[in-house]
Chains A and B, each alone.
Chain A
Amino acid sequence: MTFFSLILRGLAHHRRMHASVAAGTLIACAALSGALLVGDSVDGTLRGIAVARLGRVTYAIDWGHRFFSQDLPEAIHREEGRIHAAAVLALRGIAAIPAGSNVPPNQINQANMIGVGSEFWRFAEETPAFGALGPQEAAMNEAAARLLGVAVGDDIALRIPKPGLMPRDAPLAGNERDASIALLVTLKAVLTDRQLGRFSLAINQATPCNVFLDRTWLQDQMDLAGRANLLLADDGADAEAIDAALERAWTLEHIGLAFRRHPSGLVQLESSRIFIEDEIVRAALDVPGTRPSLTYLANSISKDGRTTPYSFVAAGGVPPDLPGDAAIINSWLAETIGAAAGDRIEVAYMQFQPDNAFVEKRRSFHVSKVASMDDFAIERELAPRFPGLSDVENCRDWDIGMPLDAERLDDAANEAYWNTYGQTPKLLIPFDTGKELWGTRFGSVMAVRFPAAAGDEKELERTLRARIDEKKIGLAFAAVRQRALDGVNQAMDFGGLMAAMSAFLIGSALILLGLLYSFGLQQRAGEMGTLMAVGYSARRIRALFMAEASPSALFGAVLGAVLGALYGMGLLVLLVRLWPDSMAETSIRFHARAGTLVESALVVLGCTLIILWFGVSRAAKHPARELLSRDYTAIPPAASRKQRHGQPFFMVLCLAGAAALGAAALSGAIKDLPVAFLGSGFLLLMAGLGGHAWFLGYLGHRNTFRNPTLWKLALANLARRRSRSLGVAAAIACGCFLVLSVSAMRENLALHAERRDSGTGGFPIYAETSMPVMDGGRAFLKGYIGQVIPLRVREGDDAGCLNLNRAQSPRLFGVNAEVLGALDAFADKKTWETLLHPLQDGQIPVIVGDTNTALWGLNKKTGLEDGENLTITDESGQEVTLKLVESLPMRLSVFQGALILSESDFTRLFPSESGHRAFLIETPPEKVHETVLRLNREYSRIGMQATRTLDRLEMFYGVETAYLALFLVLGGLGLMLGGAGAGIVALRNLHERQSEIALLHALGYDSPVIFHVLLVEHAALCGTGILMGACASAAAIIPMILATHTQISLYAQTAVFGGIAAVHAAAIFAALHGVLRKIRKPDSRPEVVKSLESS
């Protein structure tokens, strides 16, 4: 016999006790490892998706609406042979089933049109069999083909907004603002993920709808021959090497810049985008003698009633010392309006407004000189070439994207001038004056003129390339693979979320384990007392009992970790089933890390051992004589008598804390209301439990009842084993509080949807279009009753709940803050005004789409003072700091997952994002459905997708609902374990009191009376827990509802409450019924006698 064999004997003899330890550990460990494996699976799946959508693409330059030469990749490869690079023309458009097709009509509004060459497929894990695409051929990824319902060989109609080299919003940009090109292609192949079918740079697990086309053919259709806007590179070289190769490889021609040499020796730098970017202008103006130039079309030039319409004015090209209001006019103009040097002339022009409108303005100039037409020849020869203007024969054919008056256009003299002198400006003014009048967000320099002394074109190219910081024009590779992996690494911790949701289940299992083990210890009290009496120290006894229980705990933890894998798979199935449709299509594959299993086993094993240690230590604290009495739990340890005095203090402290937290939340000092109110409710719960402990203490130490009744004695029984009663009540109360509070977060979104301060902003319809709408929707939405708020959209990562990755560069909405502020839509005027106040250091104020986006999607603080920053890249490639100054105050809004900035900031940062692509539309409630159908039907050509705002909110809310439902399932499992615990406590109580029950029976009490007395006692035990949990939950929920205008479903709450009560009632009833059945039997006399004898 050794200490070890004593342990083994105990392990074998008390196998039931140890089995309960193993079972409790197993349940807890399975729940934890299963939850964490869900996290592993989501993480693994996202990682897989990130790799699948990029293939071998590691670096990328995304120029969006700007275009570079498709020769650039080749130039880079020449500089660094290890790098494989490819140019892509990436556009967005609509893919549809063509009319007359056998396939049912269908349309994808947000399809990616990806023009690729054969070199693109080298990025794929598996090269598609077709080799290369030809004209009018397309390949689609599986998701797009499935969504559209097409197969190889089917025809597909595509409609793609025709991108201009010049931003479509820009004045003189040409009037094909709504131009889109319709194409008919045949589906040649359906691509798998391995064939790069999922290709996308967006950090999102949702499968994009990709249509791959032949790049050359697409360029031709879009009038973008040789141009691309996306440059991809593999990992052939590291970041430093690829940057160096790019720096050596790029030329001015690659980025759309060209020199034009004038016979006079002057060299002019021009851009295919008309306007030259600031960084290039800055670099160019560093060359001595260089002058910028800007050309604009004036509505008229007049003097004393004599006027000439539509005349070009060139800013620049005058002596630098000329005053701001001075002008040099050509002899034709002088003659036509009768002006001479010294006269004042008036120029009328259209001023471009931030909202793309034009307002006619006037400005007078002092004529400093009249120059001959020959002197102006250089201006004609170097005039910028405007699309829709430079290449037409008559003034009447001008198509310049500015409102033109047909009457003014019909001017014979001007027509004659156009025929003779073409684009020759009639007026030259100082550049700074022109910039002041006609500079726009698109730029203010159309050409830079270098003096002959500055060198030839080659020399100038070298000079400029040396001076231009290519990063400032966005010519820099982004490590897209790293960004994608960052998005996964920083994504919401699903394992943590699921573990938090399972916390109550895990807690319940551990509490049940603790309960069963402590019951076992009570049975072994005599054993413990004997060991103590024969000289075993408390430490040795603890060691003995722990050594005995540890193998069971270890076995439970190991088996639990293994079974947790199965449980995790079940959770995944449940999660995907509960997710809204938009996310459910992401098939989450099961991934299990051995580390997760080991970690969860260790954590649960640790918790179990702590619980066991606590139980053994608590028992071993009792002196041997108490342990030998075999009922030590009915004897309160000395410490707890002291604790009783601390309970009122604890209660008051918790009450004060709850009140303070609630007050802080209501006063607005705490922004996160749900957390504040739930915290306050939890403190109330703690106060209630403190009060309950005090009451049980009071019952335990009370004097004789003045009028004792069976019911009072039944209640007094609760105080016999105070900690057991308190433990059960606390477990039930906590479970009830959690389940009720969390289930109350289920909102009825429809109830306040019409209010301006709701997540709909009071707008019943939200619409998005694939094609930009240039007039703010005024024309096409004519006839719809109510207000239409157009929104500018910059595509980016979805930072909402629908994206499982962490958004790196969120989607942006440009809004008219004054209009929304005046309506108090979504938020009050003050909130919207924060967008209009410039911040220090050039930071841009932005509002987060809703509180859920701030809290979960971005996980960033908002506030004018302490709001966090987010860095994004603007259109020109410059890094811009966005400051999160506010968030819309509701949990869910139609702007979920996005950031909102003022329209002026938006257009400044992204001048090429032409027009509006989202709309908030008002219409009478009875016409909402009809209007949605009508919009989608009538404007399918521009890819309009109108939805009820409520449906949009419901879609976002689907994620939250899924998590709530999952929590309720897990909470329900926890409550069932809690119910089982309550039943076990009841059984144990009854078992210990069999002699007492037998005595009552012997004294003549009939079974129903005994049953009712015991029922009262145990119902009080559970009822107290449920009541405390429910009251604390109500105290947390009601102020939250009042403060956030949340509407909960009373029906659902009542159902949840009823469910909790029913589970516990059933458990207790079953336990009572089982024990008392013996006594109720007519032949129960031997049981009674036995029980009485054992007492």
Chain B
Amino acid sequence: MTENGPLIELRDVHKAYPAGPGPLPVLKGVDFTLYAGECAAITGPSGCGKSTLLNLMGALDAPTSGQVLFRGRSLLSLTPMESAQFRNRDVGFVFQAHHLLPQCTALENAIVPALVHKDARNARERAETLLERVGLAHRMDARPEQLSGGERQRVAFVRALINRPALLLADEPTGSLNEEAARDMADLMLEMQRTERMAIVIVTHAMPIAERFRRVLELKDGRLVPQG
């Protein structure tokens, strides 16, 4: 793979889940390419397979058939350890539910992915910087239950960025936020994308959010269809 090649590429990806008498197909031949520093929003109705698609890109799930390539290397070829390393170094996840560790403060939650490298000191500095940048300088020592929904989501966002990933995968990051907080979150993501020079794939069913990203695709009948 070269620096100019795609960051992530999906080739004829199919995914079906076992259900009842036979498998239930969700993705039916998805093709998708994203280059470093690019942004894309994927929309679609509830249950169409958006989250599944994101999970495949983040090596949280494997396709039934087809290829998912990251920098030209198939994610299917990764060992479980390599897969974990991939998620830790190359990808950042933001979920609709923030999934913060309840026992840790905001700052600690942000640092958790960096503990894998045993580089806590640098991670702490970066986490403090990032938390300041997302407006949580005064909330660093707060625990998840002491934070608002928007604040939790920002902590989760900082956690996703802590290891400087090349790709940020956000699954309905604004789903549980009110309109204003959702807009702020989207602004934040785009700002960070510029400063951190990372690619973003965001899954959302909120068109106003999706439209703020350069590429918008709709997942329809198991396939990605470009919008507008």
Report which A residues bind B (CB closer than 8 A): 1-3, 5-6, 9-10, 12-14, 526-527, 529-540, 623-625, 628, 703
B2 within 8 Å of A by Cβ? no
Instruction: Pick from A529, A534, A539, A625: contact of B112, CB below 8 A.
Output: A534
Instruction: Pick from B103, B108, B111, B163: contact of A12, CB below 8 A.
Output: B103
Q: Is the CB of A535 within 8 A of B99?
A: no
Q: Which of A530, A531, A533, A623 has the most CB of B within 10 A?
A: A533
23 A-B contacts (beta carbon < 8 Å): A1-B112, A1-B124, A3-B115, A6-B115, A9-B101, A10-B103, A526-B99, A527-B102, A533-B95, A534-B92, A534-B113, A535-B86, A535-B87, A535-B88, A535-B91, A535-B163, A536-B116, A537-B81, A537-B84, A537-B85, A624-B60, A628-B95, A703-B21
B214 within 8 Å of A by Cβ? no
Contacts of B93 in A (CB 8 A): 533-534
Contacts of A9 in B (CB 8 A): 101, 103-104, 108
Contacts of A532 in B (CB 8 A): 60, 84, 87
Encode contact with A along B40-82: 1 for CB under 8 Å, 0 otherwise. Answer: 0000000000010001001011000000000000000000110
* Closest partner residue, chain A, to B100 (CB atom): A530
Beyond A6-B112, A530-B99, A530-B100, list 16 extra A-B contacts (CB 8 Å): A1-B120, A1-B123, A2-B115, A10-B103, A13-B103, A526-B97, A527-B99, A530-B101, A531-B112, A532-B60, A532-B84, A532-B87, A535-B84, A537-B84, A539-B81, A623-B61
Encode contact with A along B157-187: 1 for CB under 8 Å, 0 otherwise. Answer: 0011001000000000000000000000000
Contacts of A13 in B (CB 8 A): 102-103
Report the bound CA distance from A319 to B24 in whole Å: 116
Please classify the interface of chain B as helix (H, G, I), strand (E, B), loop, or mixed, using the class held by over half of its residues. helix
B138 within 8 Å of A by Cβ? no
Report the bound CA distance from A527 to B100 in whole Å: 7
Q: Is the CB of B58 within 8 A of A533?
A: yes
B154 within 8 Å of A by Cβ? no
B20 within 8 Å of A by Cβ? yes
Contacts of A10 in B (CB 8 A): 101, 103
Say how far A424's CB is from chain B's closest CB, in angstroms.
Answer: 109
Q: Is the CB of A536 within 8 A of B99?
A: no
Q: A533-B58, A703-B21 are in contact. Are A1 and B85 (CB under 8 A)?
A: no
B210 within 8 Å of A by Cβ? no
Say how far B118's CB is from chain A's closest CB, in angstroms.
Answer: 7
Instruction: Pick from A6, A14, A534: contact of B104, CB below 8 A.
Output: A6
B203 within 8 Å of A by Cβ? no
Q: A526-B99, A623-B61 are in contact. Are A1 and B84 (CB under 8 A)?
A: no
Say how far B63's CB is from chain A's closest CB, in angstroms.
Answer: 13
* Closest partner residue, chain A, to B117 (CB atom): A535
Contacts of A533 in B (CB 8 A): 58, 60, 87, 93, 95, 99
Say how far A622's CB is from chain B's closest CB, in angstroms.
Answer: 11
Contacts of B99 in A (CB 8 A): 526-527, 529-530, 533, 628
Instruction: Pick from B84, B103, B120: contact of A536, CB below 8 A.
Output: B84
Q: Which 10 pairs show the lowest CB-CB distances between chains A and B?
A: A535-B88, A13-B103, A537-B84, A534-B113, A530-B99, A9-B103, A535-B87, A624-B60, A533-B93, A1-B111
Report the bound CA distance from A535 to B113 in whole Å: 7
Say how far B36's CB is from chain A's closest CB, in angstroms.
Answer: 19
Q: What is the size category of the interface that chain B forms with chain A?
A: 35 or more
Report the bound CA distance from A362 to B101 in whole Å: 109
Contacts of A539 in B (CB 8 A): 81
Instruction: Pick from B55, B88, B89: contact of A625, CB below 8 A.
Output: B55
Contacts of B81 in A (CB 8 A): 537, 539
Q: Is the CB of A3 within 8 A of B97?
A: no
Contacts of A535 in B (CB 8 A): 84-89, 91, 113, 116, 163
Q: Is the CB of B80 within 8 A of A538?
A: yes
Report the bound CA distance from A526 to B97 in whole Å: 10
Q: Is the CB of A534 within 8 A of B87?
A: yes
Report the bound CA distance from A529 to B112 in whole Å: 13
Q: Which of A13, A535, A628 has the most CB of B within 10 A?
A: A535
Q: A526-B99, A533-B93 are in contact. Are A540 and B61 (CB under 8 A)?
A: no
B107 within 8 Å of A by Cβ? yes
| B206-226 at interface with A (beta carbon < 8 Å) | none
Q: Is the CB of A1 within 8 A of B107?
A: yes
Contacts of A2 in B (CB 8 A): 115, 120
Report the bound CA distance from A530 to B104 in whole Å: 13
Contacts of B123 in A (CB 8 A): 1
Contacts of B160 in A (CB 8 A): 534
Q: Is the CB of A3 within 8 A of B118?
A: yes
Contacts of A623 in B (CB 8 A): 60-61
Say how far A645's CB is from chain B's closest CB, in angstroms.
Answer: 15
Contacts of A529 in B (CB 8 A): 99
Say how far B127's CB is from chain A's closest CB, in angstroms.
Answer: 9
Q: Is the CB of B88 within 8 A of A536?
A: yes
Q: Which of B103, B112, B159 has the most CB of A within 10 A?
A: B103
Contacts of A527 in B (CB 8 A): 99, 101-102
Contacts of B100 in A (CB 8 A): 530
* Closest partner residue, chain A, to B87 (CB atom): A535
Say how far A315's CB is from chain B's closest CB, in angstroms.
Answer: 97
Q: Is the CB of B60 within 8 A of A1?
A: no
Q: Is the CB of B115 within 8 A of A1?
A: yes
Contacts of B60 in A (CB 8 A): 532-533, 623-625
Q: A14-B103, A529-B99, A623-B60 are in contact. Are A537 and B80 (CB under 8 A)?
A: yes
Q: Is the CB of B61 within 8 A of A625?
A: yes
Say how far B62's CB is from chain A's closest CB, in angstroms.
Answer: 9
* Closest partner residue, chain A, to B115 (CB atom): A3
Contacts of B55 in A (CB 8 A): 624-625
Report the bound CA distance from A1 to B101 in whole Å: 13
Contacts of A628 in B (CB 8 A): 95, 97, 99
Contacts of A625 in B (CB 8 A): 51, 55, 60-61
Instruction: Pick from B20, B88, B103: contact of A534, CB below 8 A.
Output: B88
Instruction: Pick from A6, A530, A703: contact of B108, CB below 8 A.
Output: A6
Say how far A664's CB is from chain B's closest CB, in angstroms.
Answer: 44
Say how far A211's CB is from chain B's closest CB, in angstroms.
Answer: 75
Report the bound CA distance from A531 to B111 in whole Å: 12
Report the bound CA distance from A200 to B107 in whole Å: 77
Report the bound CA distance from A12 to B102 in whole Å: 11
Say how far A520's CB is from chain B's closest CB, in angstroms.
Answer: 13
Report the bound CA distance from A527 to B107 in whole Å: 16
Report the bound CA distance from A879 to B24 in whole Å: 82
Report the bound CA distance from A540 to B92 in whole Å: 18
Report the bound CA distance from A527 to B160 in whole Å: 15
Contacts of B84 in A (CB 8 A): 532, 535-538, 540
Contacts of B111 in A (CB 8 A): 1
* Closest partner residue, chain B, to A11 (CB atom): B103
Say how far B141's CB is from chain A's closest CB, in angstroms.
Answer: 12
Contacts of A12 in B (CB 8 A): 103
Say how far A1074's CB is from chain B's closest CB, in angstroms.
Answer: 25
* Closest partner residue, chain B, to A14 (CB atom): B103
Q: Is the CB of A540 within 8 A of B103?
A: no
Contacts of B113 in A (CB 8 A): 534-536
* Closest partner residue, chain A, to B124 (CB atom): A1
Contacts of A540 in B (CB 8 A): 84, 116
Contacts of A536 in B (CB 8 A): 84, 88, 113, 116
Say how far A37's CB is from chain B's closest CB, in angstroms.
Answer: 38
Report the bound CA distance from A625 to B97 in whole Å: 12
Say how far A644's CB is from chain B's closest CB, in angstroms.
Answer: 13
* Closest partner residue, chain B, to A538 (CB atom): B80
Report the bound CA distance from A5 to B108 in whole Å: 10
Report the bound CA distance from A535 to B111 in whole Å: 12
Report the bound CA distance from A40 to B102 in whole Å: 47
Report the bound CA distance from A538 to B116 in whole Å: 12
Report the bound CA distance from A625 to B61 in whole Å: 7
